[in-house]
Amino acid sequence: MKKYLPQCSTILEFCGAWPSVEYYTGWRKIIYDFYTLVVILLIFTCCLSGAIQLCIFTRTINEFAINGYMLLTLCTTFSKAFTIILKRDYLAKAFESMENDTYRAQNEEEKQIQDEWNPHSSRSPQGYRFLVMVSIFVVTITSFEDNIPSRTLLFGGWFPYNHTDGIGFGAAFVHQLIVHNWGALIGSSIDAVIYGTLIQICGQLKILGCRLRKIPEVIRKHTRLSANMNKNDDKTFKIEDWERLVVLDCIRHHLHILQFSKTCNGIYSIVIFFQFLASGVIICICVILLTKMKFMGSEYIFMLSYLGCMVAQIFFYCWFGNEVILESLNIDTVIYEMDWSELSLSTQRDLLIIMTRSMYPIEFTSGKMVTLSINSFNAVMKLSYSVYNVLGQKG
């Protein structure tokens, strides 16, 4: 994964979620696993603290909104981190399979497509990570200006000791600040990994379409080459044999893409499910809280940046998922627009099989309930608006 998503890999390595293969052996492995356990326990205990506060000590809708939106975010982050840590070996093998020669660009046009759909150079995930970094910076600065002097925590939580003053407040405050910053880094990096995976699949589908489109041209070149070699006695056999090799390469490429997509969908499915489950509620709660805050105050700026992160997060999930659907369906169109007249009957039958398979798009689902697409993004926004109306009336 480090080759395709170096920044995300470095951040996850720093946060204890993705060890580097270079030193993940011997005593270093033990130390890193212990560090990973500490990070997971910190996030889990913060989620538990928030859940107890929300279920037992929350009395009003306004308190529920204030305590609930961050709890949902932390729970989603915990599910992401826990899932990736459990399945990181499978994900690493999936990315290792991308080193296959089938995925490599074979000419300048394919290299251009590969550069265009390079996850590392894509601006959308970078813009999303920038928003997250801004939110982390804002909450850190405002916490030192507002929370420390007033002896208040960043967000609601229950602790088995007095956390309103002295060492108790310091321990609780540092705990929440570390979890918030580490959680934001882990969550945004895992999101960027998913975006990068979807972008990589789109790029490979583009390359596959390019190869399929050029099959008649490749056959014509081979025909002229065979004619110049004056080997007319077995020319027809060689042309058909060449057609078979070219089409088999395309079929093999398509199958690799389908297998890679299936593997990644199995890994990301739980992550996407919890994200969709929480996003609609979090967005509407943020909007409700924004309407009750002082315009351009420190809390308002933080909540506005936080809301921007949440909307961008779910939008990029749906946008890149929708691109995968469109590109996988486009394979059918590319084959249909080819010049079939120069191809043999066996090659035409093979192409029909690819067309039949490409009629069923590659879809990334969240818990096998919601498909990542623009329609799903619209559904989340409608859900947020509905919950906003309900909570706004009760508030």
Mapped onto helix, strand or coil, the DSSP state of residue 370 is strand
Lowest-pLDDT range, 48-57, 278-287, 288-297, 374-383?
A: 288-297
Half-sphere exposure of 331 (CA within 13 A, CB side): 34
- Residue 145 has what DSSP assignment? I
Place of tokens 């739980």: 270
Question: What value does the mean pLDDT of the chain take?
Answer: 80
Q: Cα–Cα distance between 75 and 51 in angstroms, integer?
A: 10
Q: Which of the two residues, 262 and 295, has the higher pLDDT score?
A: 262
Query: Residue 222: exposed, middle, or buried by beta-carbon count in 10 A (0-12, 13-18, 19+)?
Result: middle
Q: What is the dihedral of CA 291, 293, 298, 300, to 10 degrees?
A: -10
Stretch 251-280: mean pLDDT = 85
The pair of three-digit structure tokens given for residue 291, joined into one six-digit string: 């309407």
Percentage helix, strand, coil for the chain under 3-state DSSP, each rounded to 5: 80, 0, 20
Q: Cα–Cα distance between 273 and 223 in angstroms, integer?
A: 52
Query: Residue 329: exposed, middle, or buried by beta-carbon count in 10 A (0-12, 13-18, 19+)?
Result: middle
Q: Cα–Cα distance between 26 and 22 in angstroms, integer?
A: 11
**pLDDT score recorded for residue 392:** 57
Stretch 240-265: mean pLDDT = 84
pLDDT digits (tens, 9 = 90+) for 151-207: 777 777 788 877 777 788 888 888 888 888 888 888 888 888 888 889 888 888 888
Lowest-pLDDT range, 30-44, 77-91, 168-182, 207-221?
A: 207-221
Residue 6 CB coordination number (10 Å): 12
Helices 61-96 & 374-394 angle (0-180, nearest 10): 160
Question: Has residue 233 got a pLDDT over 70?
Answer: no
Place of tokens 């609609």: 280
Q: Which of the two residues, 127 and 10, has the higher pLDDT score?
A: 10
Q: Cα–Cα distance between 88 and 267 in angstroms, integer?
A: 9
- Chain-centroid distance, C-alpha 256: 20
- Spell out the residues 6+ positions from residue 77 whose beta carbon is closer than 8 angstroms to its own: 43, 183, 184, 186, 187
Q: Cα–Cα distance between 182 and 302 in angstroms, integer?
A: 17
Q: Cα–Cα distance between 61 and 69 in angstroms, integer?
A: 12
Question: Has residue 2 got a pLDDT over 50?
Answer: yes
Buried b / exposed e across 166-186, counting CB within 10 Å, b at 16+?
eeebeebbebbbebbbbbbbb
Question: Has residue 21 got a pLDDT over 70?
Answer: yes
The pair of three-digit structure tokens given for residue 256, joined into one six-digit string: 């690799």
Query: Residue 7: exposed, middle, or buried by beta-carbon count in 10 A (0-12, 13-18, 19+)?
Result: middle
**pLDDT score recorded for residue 41:** 92
Strands (E), 113-169: none
Q: Cα–Cα distance between 324 and 198 in angstroms, integer?
A: 7
Q: In percent, how much of the chain has pLDDT > 90?
A: 2
Question: Has residue 5 got a pLDDT over 60?
Answer: yes
For residue 41, the one-letter residue type is L
**pLDDT score recorded for residue 235:** 46
The pair of three-digit structure tokens given for residue 297, joined into one six-digit string: 């105050």
